[in-house]
């Protein structure tokens, strides 16, 4: 359960939590029937079904921090700044929203079935989990009396090497798409939309695309731009995008060839940071056998190894609805349940079930019975100081959904 929902909640639950907390005390005692019966909302009372157990990889996929936040693009936010405030307040939701084995009800939309419905009284929210019939993509819709509205889509993208492919692809998909062929729609949205949050993030095992707005029509437009970008990017057919965002050759002022590229330059800066180098060394030491031993952000020495064929294949494999989780949050009187499902279905219905390979991160068995000590050098000047970090591999066996 943690594998599938930690991703979407990591990118979006923080926003919902921060905003809900401000009014939760007053709203907690209100009846939630108004949420269920609001404009076009799906009907049905509270239903429950058995939770599926957490797999071995489930615990692993909750960890990690962004390896690359869009360095050259402004982090735009006003009241949406809390969007990534964390999962601590969402533990109850994580523990109760595990996908069950059976259908509980009709969704009211022909492309989806309602998997589960639950009221979270503490946050005055009604949560509905849907499954897309053809692709099995899952959509978590949260109805709450909040003027802020959030959309997010997340893909599980464990790296197979340190070329930075997930990070470069995160940049590249926002460089034009099938329906929005402009060079950088992301920049245009920053300037011309009513967004309160707009960004994208690459983690060690997932890539998140969250947007937020207080205007319903603006949110729907932002969601369409993002879904078109991730599913039908110009980068998939145009090698020039990879060259721009990933790496390319340039002739410097000394008439010598050098590497350039948005992500390449960004990661050169990251690898000059002692904190980043220490964190990377600790992660690789703790997880030598699974995807966490690689750098999803990209090692500058390995980034030039990335080819366009590998780039295109990675998008085909991982950026498919069957490997996606969608999150929609806000007041259903602004964006109804039916509108939410129709918005997502416009894109998911273009796909069939696919993705031949499993994308779960394998578990990391404990390989040492006594403390392991590493000494890692880092660049520094005359006043450079030593740094120390202590880390534990706390779970090498499967965890239950309710385990902390």
Extract the tokens encoding 65. 């921090």
Closest CA to 8 of 101, 138, 132: 138
Mapped onto helix, strand or coil, the DSSP state of residue 254 is coil
Burial degree of 54 (CB within 10 A; 0-12, 13-18, 19+): buried
d(CA 370, CA 192): 56
Report the b/e string of 103-113 with b at 16+ CB within 10 A: eebebbbebbe
Cα 111 vs. chain centroid, distance in angstroms? 23
Residues annotated as catalytic are: 170, 245
pLDDT digits (tens, 9 = 90+) for 234-252: 999 999 999 999 999 999 8
| Helix H or strand E encompassing 276 | helix 274-286
pLDDT tier, 331 (very low <50, low <70, confident <90, very high otherwise): very high
pLDDT digits (tens, 9 = 90+) for 348-371: 999 987 665 678 888 888 888 888
125 pLDDT above the threshold of 60: yes
Mapped onto helix, strand or coil, the DSSP state of residue 237 is coil
| Cα angle 214, 321, 19; round to 5 | 25
pLDDT digits (tens, 9 = 90+) for 189-206: 888 899 999 999 999 999
8 Å CB contact between 286 and 391:
yes
8 Å CB contact between 361 and 203:
no
252 Cβ contact partners less than 8 Å away, ≥ 6 residues apart = 258
């Amino acid at each position: 359960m943690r594998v599938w929902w930690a991703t979407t909640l990591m990118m979006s639950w923080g926003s919902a939590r921060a905003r809900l907390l401000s009014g939760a005390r007053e709203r907690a005692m209100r009846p939630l029937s108004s949420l269920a019966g609001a404009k076009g909302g799906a009907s049905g009372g509270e239903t429950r079904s058995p939770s599926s157990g957490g797999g071995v990889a489930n615990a692993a996929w909750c960890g990690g921090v962004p390896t690359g936040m869009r360095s050259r693009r402004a982090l735009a936010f006003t009241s949406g700044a809390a969007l990534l405030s964390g999962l601590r307040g969402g533990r109850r939701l994580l523990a109760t929203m595990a996908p069950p084995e059976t259908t509980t009800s009709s969704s009211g939309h022909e492309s989806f079935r309602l998997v589960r419905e639950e009221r979270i009284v503490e946050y005055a929210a009604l949560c509905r989990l849907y499954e897309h019939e053809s692709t099995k993509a899952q959509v978590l819709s949260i109805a709450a009396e909040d003027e802020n509205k959030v959309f997010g889509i997340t893909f599980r993208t464990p790296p197979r090497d340190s070329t930075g492919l997930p990070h470069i692809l995160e940049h590249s998909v926002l460089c034009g798409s099938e329906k929005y062929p402009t060079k950088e729609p992301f920049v245009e949205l920053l300037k011309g939309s009513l967004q309160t949050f707009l960004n994208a993030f690459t983690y060690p095992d997932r890539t998140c695309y969250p947007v937020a707005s207080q205007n319903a029509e603006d949110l729907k437009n932002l969601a369409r731009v993002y879904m078109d970008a991730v599913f039908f990017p110009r980068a998939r057919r145009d090698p020039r995008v990879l060259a721009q965002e990933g790496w390319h050759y340039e002739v410097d002022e000394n008439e010598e060839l050098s590497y350039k590229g948005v992500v390449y330059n960004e990661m050169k800066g990251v690898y000059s940071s002692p904190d980043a180098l220490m964190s990377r060394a600790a992660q690789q030491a703790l997880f030598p056998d699974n995807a966490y031993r690689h750098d999803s952000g990209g090692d500058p020495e390995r980034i030039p190894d990335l080819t366009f064929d590998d780039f295109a294949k990675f998008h085909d494999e991982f950026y498919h609805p069957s490997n996606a989780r969608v999150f929609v949050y806000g007041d259903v009187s602004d964006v109804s349940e039916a509108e939410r499902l129709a918005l997502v279905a416009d894109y998911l219905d273009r796909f069939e079930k696919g993705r031949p390979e499993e994308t779960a991160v394998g578990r990391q068995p404990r390989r040492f019975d006594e403390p392991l000590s590493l000494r890692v050098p880092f660049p520094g000047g005359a006043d450079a100081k030593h740094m120390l970090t202590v880390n534990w591999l706390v779970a090498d066996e499967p965890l239950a959904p309710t385990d902390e």
